[in-house]
Amino acid sequence: MEKITIILAGPRGKMGMEALKLIKETEHFELAAAIDRKNGGKLISNIEGLPALDAPIYEDVEQCFREIKADVLLDLTTPEIGRKHTEAALRHGIRPVVGTTGFNEEELEDLAKTAEEKGVGVIIAPNFAVGAVLMMKFAQMAAKYFPDVEIIEQHHDQKLDAPSGTAIKTAELISKSRKEKQQGHPNEKETLQGARGANMNGMRIHSVRLPGLVAHQEVLFGGNGQILTLRHDSLHRSSFMSGVKLAIETVMNIDILVYGLENIIE
């Protein structure tokens, strides 16, 4: 397989550190550089706790993209920064693979437009875990028969965005297979604001944040005398890495924006 050179944004983050291991262990991947909030001018191998990779660290994204020739940007940062990095990568003809969540619909549309104009592939995947992708697909199937649904997502308490990218993607997929529907009693009233969760196309999404959690989601479907529950748990961030690998390999062969791993797994 031909070598794929990668710039990683967010190398000291929880996902970034797992991605460094993946890049180091994958023969046809090579870390060309990293983008970090600090440590500019150092090498990844100079940073305590990071693997022995002699790739330079940049704090200035534009300088990095000007000086480093790379195939792919892997972004695992924060919503605002991730969007800026993705736009800059597209301008420089570098293919973004974005795990960062929290982009809104308008931002996704803008990025899709830029990708198309530049003819540069992008993959934005709210969840790289194959089990989570299957949960979302099964939820889309089930909603045809069980249109009453609520989503409960649970994450560690350092997460910045709520609801999670996975919960939003799940609700989007479910919306494709059921008509918009107002759920619950038509006269229901919240006596405590937020008690019924967020409302997306009539579906309720509840976000739990607690130390000890990693990434978990339940999709509950209610029918006559029955409840169907779909649940996925990421117990470790290694669960995301086979999806990251697939996305990096796939982005080399596309020239548009693909949103969601379900569009590339067979």
Ligand X SMILES: NC(=O)C1=CN([C@@H]2O[C@H](COP(=O)(O)OP(=O)(O)OC[C@H]3O[C@@H](n4cnc5c(N)ncnc54)[C@H](O)[C@@H]3O)[C@@H](O)[C@H]2O)C=CC1
In the annotated binding site, the residues are: 10-15, 38, 99-101, 125-128, 156, 165-166
Rg (CA), the chain: 19
Part in contact with ligand X (CB under 6 A); list of ranges 98-106, 168-176, 188-196, 203-211? 98-106
Please select the residue that binds ligand LZUJQKHR; options are 77, 127, 207, 239, rule is CB under 6 A. 127
- Residue 78 contact among ligand X, ligand LZUJQKHR, none, beta carbon within 5 to 8 Å by kind: ligand X
Phi/psi of residue 154, each to 5°? Answer: -130, 130
- Give me the least distance between CB of 80 and ligand X, in Å please: 8
Nearest to ligand X of 96, 102 (CB atom): 102
**Residue 26 near residue 2 (C-beta atoms within 8 A):** no
Mark 84-103 with x for binding to ligand LZUJQKHR (rule: CB under 6 A) and - for no binding: -----------------x--
Strands 198-200 and 148-155 turn out to be: unpaired
- Residue 75 contact among ligand X, ligand LZUJQKHR, none, beta carbon within 5 to 8 Å by kind: none
Reduce the DSSP state of residue 169 to 3 states and report it.
helix
Start-end of H helices in the chain: 14-25, 61-67, 79-91, 105-118, 130-143, 165-177, 241-251
- Residue 155 contact among ligand LZUJQKHR, ligand X, none, beta carbon within 5 to 8 Å by kind: ligand LZUJQKHR
Residues placed in the known binding site for (S)-2,3,4,5-tetrahydrodipicolinate: 156, 165-166
Catalytic (active-site) positions: 155, 159
Residues placed in the known binding site for NADP(+): 38
Both tokens assigned to 257: 């924006």
d(CA 154, CA 114): 33
Q: Is 58 in the site for ligand X (CB under 6 A)?
A: no
Site for ligand X in 185-204 (CB under 6 A): none
Phi/psi of residue 155, each to 5°? Answer: -140, 165
Q: Is 127 in the site for ligand X (CB under 6 A)?
A: yes
| End-to-end CA separation in angstroms for the chain | 20
Going from the C-alpha of 123 to that of each of 21, 142, 152, 206, 208, the distances in angstroms are: 21, 26, 26, 27, 27
Interface ranges with ligand X (CB under 6 A) = 9-10, 12-16, 35-37, 76-78, 81, 99-102, 125-128, 158, 161, 240
Q: Which residues bind ligand LZUJQKHR (CB under 6 A)?
A: 101, 126-127, 155, 159, 164-166, 215
